[in-house]
Amino acid sequence: MSKEIQEHIFEPFFTTKQLGQGTGLGLATIHGIVKQNNGFINVYSEPGKGSTFKIYLARDHSQAHLTAIPEKVAPPLGQGETVLLVEDDLALLTLSKKLLEDLGYTVLEASTPGRALELAAGQTGGISLLLTDVVMPELDGRALAERLKTSHPELKILFMSGYTANVIALQEILDPGVQFIQKPFTKNDLAAKIHETLSANGAHQ
């Protein structure tokens, strides 16, 4: 890559890909993680030959301590509450639906925000939680949540993204203090976060 591109590659949302083919957050996320751990990244690149990224992290000289492995705790289960799941990655959509059903939730699944709005409009039994990806084509997660809140004011919102919470906050993609879980997540992580979200400012809906 050229020197001009190298000067901008770690900037959030900078991308050389065509519109719709990249978010420009990948290298920004990696750079943020490395910086948080007091490290740095060097880039070696020649046009037409390729690029090499080298990550340098400080060695931890602290004394290692053995810690007891905590006993496994059963994840908090749902009680049949309806969750509107919105994820544009079909593989993740299928996996997330299975996790939610295993945890005891009723799932309405949508691979696009438009489909999510249709499902919500036709749902007469109420929706307890919107679990939605943040970065999506057509309509982002925050805009979708705002639309749904107008017709479902009691709806609880849980955002999910492959980008770190720091990147999400830095770019003001979401408002501060919202419920957020980073992908990939475990079944127990998801269960705990949903329980926390539904329990906020009141009992489970």
Burial 16-29 (b: 16+ CB within 10 A, else e): eeeeeeeeebebbb
Give the model's pLDDT for residue 74: 78
What is the dihedral angle through the alpha carbons of 193, 195, 196, 202, rounded to the nearest 10 degrees?
160
Note the pLDDT of residue 49.
83
Question: Distance between CA 95 and CA 10 in Å, rounded?
Answer: 31
Strand (E) or helix (H) holding 157: strand 156-161
pTM of the entire predicted model:
0.65
For residue 143 the two structure tokens come to 């805009």
Distance CA(52)–CA(43), nearest Å, equals 6
* Average pLDDT, 10 consecutive residues per value, the chain (205 residues): 78 67 68 78 85 83 67 83 95 94 96 96 92 89 94 94 71 77 90 94 46
- Within a 10 A sphere around the Cβ of 80, how many other Cβ atoms? 10
Domains of the chain: residue spans and CATH: 3-56 (3.30.565.10), 82-199 (3.40.50.2300)
- Can you give the pLDDT at residue 169? 64
Which backbone phi and psi does 141 adopt, to 5 degrees? -60, -40
Alpha-helical (H) ranges within 17-140 are: 26-36, 90-102, 113-122
Question: Which among 146, 148, 133, 136 is positioned nearest to 180, based on CA atoms?
Answer: 133
Model pLDDT, residue 196: 94
Residue 203 is predicted with a pLDDT of 39
